[in-house]
Amino acid sequence: MLETMRAFAVSRLEPSDEAVLRRRHASSYSVLAARDGGKHHGEDLARSLDRLAPDSANLSAACKFAIEAGDVDTALGLVGNLWRFWLQTGRLTEGRALIDAALMLPGAESPRPARIMALDAAAGVEYWSGDLARAGSLYEEQLALADALDDPPGQALAWSNLGITQMINGDIDGFRAAMTEARRLFEELGDQSGLTLIEEYTAVQGFSAAMTDLQEARPALETTAARYESVAEPRLRKVGLTARAFVAAMDGDGITASRSAAAALRIDVALRETATAVADGLSMPRFLAAFGLPEAAAVVEGATAAAIERLGIRPLVAGPLPLAGEARPEAPAPIETLGPERYDAAIKRGRLMTLEEVADFIESEGGRLVGEAHSAQPGIASH
C-alpha cells in the first residue's frame, strides 16, 4: 500500500520537483551515513548497524542518485561511511559497485577529504575479497592523500590499515612502525577508540609467532591472556581469551580452550563484527578435530562456509584461534574419520546454524570433553 502511494505521489511531481526531492533525500541520508556509518569497531559499530539497517534501501538510493547526479563529495562521502555496513550485512557486492562508480566520477580523482574515506572503503572491500596486494596499494594511496591534505584522522586510519597488511605479509618491522605512527596520531587526536584498536592489533600480532612456533610464543601468549582476558573493554578481552585458548590448547586442555574460544566468538557476535568472527572461525574445525571431535569440526566447517557465502567475503587468513598445539598430533580430516555420509550430514547441520549457535555448540563440545575427563577419573565429582 505504501509503495502504491509513493508511486502515485512521484507520478504527480514535475521532473524538476522530483530532482529537488531526490537531492534533498540524498543530502539527508548523507548526514545519517556520516553520523552512524563511520563507526569502525566495537560497540559503536553495533549501534551503527542497528541505526542504519532500517534505512538500507534509502541509503542505497541516496548513493545511486549522488552518482547519477555527479555529486562527487556526496557520493564519495556516502560510500566511505557505508562500506562497513555493507560488509557486515552481506551487501559487499552492491557496495563494491557503488564505491567503484563513485571513484570513477569526473572530478573524484582530485584531492579532497571525502576521497580519503572512499579509498578506505575501496581498500576494505579488496581486503575482504582476498586481494591483499590491491588493498595495500589503495591504503598507500589513502595515506599519501591524507598526508597531502594534512588530515590527521585520515593519516591515523591509513597507518593502522597499512600495518595490518604488513603484518599479514610478514613485515613485522613495517607493522610496528605503522602502529607507532598511528598511535601517535590517535593520541594527538584524543581518539580512545583508535588507541584501543592499535592496542588490539599490537596484541594480536603476537599470535603470528604462535602460528609458526608455539613454544617460542608461549610467554607472550600467557602475558596477553593474564593482561586482557578479564578487562572490561570487549575487543581487548577477546584478545585475552584468544590467547588463553592458545595456551590451553598447547597444554592439551581442550575444555578451557573450547570455552575460551567460544567466549571470544561471542564477543565478535555481540559487537556485530560478523566478518571477523567468520575469519576467526576458519581455524576452529582443525582445533576441534585435533581434540577428537571430528563431527563437531565438520559442523563448524559447514557453519563457517555458509557464513562466508552469506557475506560474500574471502578471508585472507584464518583468525588467531588455537590449532591444538604442537604437543598433539595432527588429526585426520573429519571426512576421513566420519566417512562421506556422516561428514555431509554434519556439514548440512552446520550450514543451518547462526554464529550465536556456533558459539554455544563449541562450548557444548567443551562440555563433552569435561564429561569424558570425569568418566576417565571416577573419583572426581561433577560441579
Amino acid identity of residue 14, one-letter, is E
For residue 253, give the C-alpha cell.
586442555
Evaluate whether residue 141 is within a structural domain.
yes
Evaluate whether residue 170 is within a structural domain.
no
What single DSSP character describes residue 150? T
CATH for 89: 1.25.40
Residue with cell 514535475: 14
pLDDT of the chain, 383 residues: tens digit per residue: 545 555 545 555 455 566 777 788 877 778 888 888 766 666 777 788 888 889 899 999 999 999 999 999 999 999 999 999 999 999 999 999 999 999 999 999 999 999 999 999 999 999 999 999 999 999 999 999 999 999 999 999 999 999 999 988 889 899 999 999 999 999 999 999 899 999 999 988 876 655 566 677 788 889 999 999 999 999 999 999 999 988 888 888 888 988 999 999 999 999 989 999 998 888 788 878 878 889 999 999 999 999 999 999 998 764 444 443 343 446 788 999 999 999 999 999 999 999 999 999 998 887 666 445 434 433 323 33
pTM, rounded to two decimals: 0.86
For residue 92, give the C-alpha cell.
559487499
Mark out the alpha helices in the chain (DSSP H runs): 2-11, 15-36, 42-52, 56-68, 72-88, 92-103, 113-128, 132-148, 152-168, 172-189, 192-210, 214-228, 234-250, 254-271, 274-281, 284-290, 294-311, 334-338, 340-351, 355-376
* Same domain (yes/no): 223, 153: no
Residue with cell 595490518: 164
Evaluate whether residue 136 is within a structural domain.
yes
Evaluate whether residue 36 is within a structural domain.
no
* Same domain (yes/no): 235, 97: no
Evaluate whether residue 191 is within a structural domain.
no
**How far is 58 from 257, CA to CA, in rounded Å?**
44
Evaluate whether residue 251 is within a structural domain.
yes
What does the pLDDT read at residue 10? 52
What does the pLDDT read at residue 26? 77
What does the pLDDT read at residue 287? 78
What does the pLDDT read at residue 363? 87
| Closest to 309 (Cα-Cα) out of 346, 268, 350 | 350
Evaluate whether residue 179 is within a structural domain.
no
| Residue 339: domain span | 214-372
Q: Exposure pattern of 115-138 as b/e (b: 16+ CB <10 Å)? A: bbbbbbbbbbbbbbbebbeebbeb
* Same domain (yes/no): 88, 220: no
Looking at the structure of the chain, the number of domains it has is 2
Distances in Å between the alpha carbon of 156 and those of 24, 103, 108, 139, 239?
32, 22, 22, 11, 22
Do residues 143 and 155 make contact, with C-beta atoms less than 8 angstroms apart? yes
* Same domain (yes/no): 149, 285: no
What does the pLDDT read at residue 25? 80
**How far is 39 from 189, CA to CA, in rounded Å?**
16
Evaluate whether residue 7 is within a structural domain.
no
Domain end position, chosen among 125, 142, 157: 157
Please compute, for residue 100, the number of CA atoms within 13 A of its CA located in the half-sphere on the CB side: 8
* Same domain (yes/no): 335, 234: yes
| Closest to 115 (Cα-Cα) out of 85, 87, 153, 145 | 145
